[in-house]
Amino acid sequence: MRRNLIVFTLFAVIVIGSPICPAMAQTLSVDRVWESGVSGRIVATALSPDGLYGAVTTEKMVSFYDPNGTLLWSYPVSGGRSVAVSSGGERIAAGGDHLLLFDRSGSVIWQHKSESRIQGIAIAADGDMICTGADTGLLVFSLDNGTTTANISGSFYTKDPIRSVSTDSDGTKIVAVADSGNIYFLGADGRLLWNYKTGDTGIHVALSQDGSTVAAASSQRAVYLLNRNGRLLGKSSMPG
């Protein structure tokens, strides 16, 4: 079905450009590099920070693509909701009923059974830190070099589900948003640094690579831009 065609180039422009582009209504011109049909409704997509490797997940399958759009592998998942890719496509994290961490070849490095379904996921550029948002709050997992076991290194619990999370390239700063519309800015240990109340719902967030800027968009068609200290830099409405 056409809604299941992936165009990672357009996705890259949106994700990389949104947090830093001051002209939010600017029309972008892009060329389609490749597209691929996927069986099932796509629930999340992700690019590696260099924009070369891409991953997509449905509720039943996570798939990984190389820079030419070649499908490298697919792996069955249960209740898939989110996916994230580290630099160079070295590690891929997928969240749903389980948290799964893959290497570039598709082998499962590590897995974790969550108490509630994982709704949002982010991974540091080096793949050594994974942040997950779920119905019960946020968990941070760290992997030591050369190991295949992740330990919980941070946590942050909320009264409502966290469905969107993002991290800077070093994995030292995390931004998360709850169903209440609160945007939380945290350290790598889950310590709350500040929160911003939007009053909106259905919010998705993105943190710039250097951790200096937070962008958020709500289902009420509002776009927020905040700095690393939680100060509102701008708010804009979108036509749709």
Report whether 100 contacts 130 (CB < 8 A). Answer: no
* pLDDT, tens only, 58-73: 999 999 999 999 999 9
pLDDT of residue 69: 92
Of 19-23, 34-38, 73-77, 227-231, the range with the lowest mean pLDDT is 19-23
Q: Taking the chain, what is the end-to-end CA distance rounded to the nearest angstrom?
A: 23
Other beta carbons less than 10 A from residue 17's beta carbon = 14
Q: 92 has which bridge partners? A: 85, 102
- Phi/psi region, residue 224 (left: phi>0; alpha: psi -120 to 50; beta: rest), is beta
Mean pLDDT score across all residues of the chain: 87
Arithmetic mean of pLDDT, 99-115? 93
Q: How far is CA 126 from CA 89, 91, 120, 143, 166, in A?
A: 10, 8, 19, 10, 15
Cα–Cα distance for residue pair 222/200, rounded to 1 Å: 8
Cα–Cα distance for residue pair 94/115, rounded to 1 Å: 16
pLDDT of residue 38: 87
Which tokens belong to 94?
Answer: 């997928």
pLDDT > 70 in the chain, percent: 87
Cα–Cα distance for residue pair 96/156, rounded to 1 Å: 19
* pLDDT, tens only, 165-213: 999 999 999 999 999 999 999 999 999 999 999 999 899 999 999 999 9
Q: What confidence tier does 26 reach under pLDDT thresholds 50, 70, 90?
A: low
Which amino acid makes up residue 18? Answer: S
Separate counts of helices (H) and strands (E) for the chain: 1, 20
Other beta carbons less than 10 A from residue 222's beta carbon = 16
Report whether 58 contacts 83 (CB < 8 A). Answer: no
Cα–Cα distance for residue pair 128/74, rounded to 1 Å: 22
pLDDT at 136 over 90: no
pLDDT of residue 29: 80
Arithmetic mean of pLDDT, 31-54? 91
pLDDT of residue 114: 84
Cα 219–220–224 angle (5° rounding)?
A: 90
Q: pTM value? A: 0.85
pLDDT of residue 18: 39
